[in-house]
Amino acid sequence: MVRLGTNAKNTCGRVEAAARVFAEHGTFIRAVIRFQTDDESHVDDLYQEFFLKLVCKPLPHRLDNVKSYLYRAITNDVLDSARRKHSYCYYLKKYSKKIRISVNKKPSRNAFLETEESDSLFSLLARQLTQRQSQAVTMRYRDNYTLSEIAAEMGIAQQTARRHLSSGIRRLRAILAIE
């Protein structure tokens, strides 16, 4: 016979309490999570995370309306999850800008060597353009930014970014045709 310590008994009791809550209100919990989240693929993950949260922090003993408490707790968990996801995407995008790899496209095998060559080529060509044209062309063709990302980064309207990009390309074509 295996003897459990106080902490193990306490943990087993909390797991059983959470399991009882999920047995009684599981369909309600899943429905609320499904209602609160916009991505169906996250429902199961949030469902499991909520179970673990109930194990760590069980329901209060004197609770008048269990469903109301569960609804509020689930809503807070879904919002926290969305904040974590947004923060993760923000830092991932920031990191990808730093190392100049698009999060939408895979880098090629020779990405490091191509970066040096493209940097020198872009700096040579960029000297022939205005600052805004150079910035737009570089962001589009070296950094693989979309037009909306270019506009957001430059702090201008998308149509203005399109104008800078097209005038820069037009000017580069004229320069390269002469030489």
Q: Predicted confidence band at 87 (pLDDT cuts at 50, 70, 90)?
A: confident
- Architecture of the domain spanning 104-178: Orthogonal Bundle (1.10)
Report domain 6-97's class.
mainly alpha
**What does the mean pLDDT of the chain come to?**
79
Give the Cα separation of 133 and 166 in Å (integer): 8
- What tokens does 28 get? 């309600």
Q: What is the pLDDT of residues 119-147, one digit of tens each?
A: 676 677 777 888 898 888 888 887 788 89
**Phi/psi zone of residue 144: left (φ > 0), alpha (ψ -120 to 50 degrees), beta?**
left
Q: What is the mean pLDDT of residues 87-93?
A: 81
Counting Cβ atoms within 10 Å, is residue 12 exposed (0-12), middle (13-18) or buried (19+)? exposed
Can you give the residue ranges of every domain in the chain?
A: 6-97, 104-178
pTM: 0.48
Q: What is the mean pLDDT of residues 153-158?
A: 92
pLDDT at 2 over 50: no
In order of 31, 92, 141, 172, the CA distances from 47 in angstroms are 10, 26, 42, 55
